[in-house]
Amino acid sequence: MKPIRTAIFGTGFMGRVHLEAGRRTEGVEVAAVVGRNEDAARRLATGFFVPSTNTDYREVLRDKNIEAVHICTPNAQHFSMAKDALESGKHVLCEKPLTTSVAESEELVALASRQGLRNCVCHNLRYYPVVQQMRRLREAGELGEILVVQGTYSQDWLLYDTDWNWRVDSKAGGPSRCMADIGSHWFDLAEHLTGLRVTSLSADLQTFHRVRKQPKHSVETFANKMMGPKDYVETPVDTEDFGSVVFQMGNRTRGSMTASQVSAGRKNNFRMEIYGSKASVAWDQERPDELWVGHRDTGNAVFVKDPSLLLPGARSYADLPGGHSEGYDDTFKQLFRRFYASIASSGTPEYPQFVDGSRQLKILNSVLESHRTRRWVDVPPVTS
C-alpha cells in the first residue's frame, strides 16, 4: 500500500494531537511538520520520525509528494493557509472555526469545490461512539419528532483576569471567542444530530473581564492554569467570555444553549439534551462513554459504550470493547480514518466539510448581530 503523505501546520496543543492521531491512522504518513518556531517543530518531528520540518508552510505546499495538510494554527491564519493549500492541490483538514468571517469561509468552500479536493473542519465531537449512537437513534425515528434541544459548553480555563491565550485576542482569534471556539462545536452537533437547521435566534454575550493581564510571553492553550506569576501587560479585551442563545429550528423545534469559559469547576463540560416526542437523548463530554436515553413510559436507559449495543451505523466509531473508554485523542483517529479513506474513494464524506464550517460562521454571525441589535435574527438557510 502506498502511503498518503500529509503535513501538520502548527506545533501547539492541537498540532501534537493531530500528529499522534495521524500516526494511528492506517495508510497515512506524516511527512512534514510546520511551525513558526523551528525548535518546537523539530522536537515534535524527531520523536515520531517525521522526515522534514519547516517554518514556511508554502515550501511544504510545493512538495508534490504531500497530498494533504492539517491546519492547527491560530484561527486568523486558517484562511490563507487553507486557500494556499487548496490552490496547491492539497486536501485540507482545518481546525475550527474554519475562518474568522463568513466571506472567507464561503471562498474556501467554493475553492475546494472547484479544485475537487477533500476538505474537512475538525468538529471532533461527532466522533465519540455514543454521539453517533444519538444520531443513529434519531435517524431511525426512535426519538420521534424533535421538540427541544438544550445544553451548554462550559469551561473554566479563562475564569481569572490573569488567564490569557491567543484566543482572547480578536486579531488572532477573530471577533468572537467563546462562541467561536466552543459554541461552534455545540451548534455543529445540534444540527448534525437532529438533522434540523437553526432558523432564528436571540443571543446575549458578555465579557466579564474587559481588561486582562496578558503575559509578555506567549501561552499555549490551556497552559495558563499551570503558570506561576509572570510579567503582565494590562490589555483590553473585546471577545466574549460567555454567550447565551435561545433559538428556533423551524416552526416546531425550540432550543437553548450557553457557552462559557468562566464557569468554575467545569473543565470541558459539553452537554447536549435532545427531547423528542417519543424519547430523549443526553450526553456529557466529561463522561464521554455514557449515553442517557429518556423515556416517558419505562425506565430511562444509560448506555456504557459497547459496540454490541450500538446501532450498525454507529458501530464502526468504536474500536474498543464495552467499557474500555475511548477519549479525546480517539475521536481524531476516527475522523482522520474517514477523511483519508475518502481521498482514495469517491464516496460521500462521513465528516464535517468546509460547508459545515462555513455554516458555523453564519450562525456565529447571527449571534453577534442579535447581541448587537438586541433582536431576534434569522439565520440564512442552507441551500444545496
| Residues 170-229 close enough to bind a copy of itself by CB under 8 A | 202-204, 206, 208, 221-222, 225-226
Contacts of 327 (CB under 8 A, 6+ apart): 288
- Shortest distance, CB of residue 256 to a copy of itself, whole angstroms? 4
Q: Which residues pair with 68 in a beta bridge?
A: 6, 91
Single residue of 34, 189, 293, 335 touching a copy of itself by CB under 8 A: 293
Distance CA 195, CA 146 (A): 10
Using the minimum distance from each CB to a copy of itself, give the nearer residue, 93 or 257.
257
- Shortest distance, CB of residue 105 to a copy of itself, whole angstroms? 26
Q: Which stretch binds a copy of itself (CB under 8 A): 52-60, 70-78, 184-192, 323-331?
A: 323-331
Using the minimum distance from each CB to a copy of itself, give the nearer residue, 175 or 294.
294
Q: Tell me which residues in 120-179 interact with a copy of itself (CB under 8 A).
A: 147-148, 150, 152, 154-157, 159-160
C-beta of residue 345 within 8 angstroms of C-beta of residue 337:
no
Interface with a copy of itself, residue 295, by CB under 8 A: yes
Give the long-range contacts of residues 230-237, CB within 8 A, separation 24 or more: 232/162, 235/164, 235/168, 235/169, 235/211, 236/210, 236/211, 237/168, 237/207, 237/209, 237/210, 237/211, 237/212
Q: Which residues pair with 291 in a beta bridge?
A: 303
Amino acid letter for position 287: R
Distance CA 86, CA 115 (A): 7
Per-residue binding letters, 17-46, with a copy of itself (x by CB under 8 A): x--x--xx-xx-x----------------x
Q: Which stretch binds a copy of itself (CB under 8 A): 52-60, 64-72, 168-176, 253-261?
A: 253-261
Residue 383, all three cell numbers? 441551500
Single residue of 83, 197, 213, 254 touching a copy of itself by CB under 8 A: 254
Single residue of 35, 174, 255, 357 touching a copy of itself by CB under 8 A: 255
Using the minimum distance from each CB to a copy of itself, give the nearer residue, 222 or 232.
222
Q: Which stretch binds a copy of itself (CB under 8 A): 33-41, 52-60, 77-85, 293-301?
A: 293-301
- Shortest distance, CB of residue 375 to a copy of itself, whole angstroms? 7
Rounded alpha-carbon distances, angstroms, from residue 39 to 10, 44, 130? 12, 9, 39
Give all strands (DSSP E) within 199-268, no chain letters. 200-206, 211-215, 232-236, 242-249, 253-260
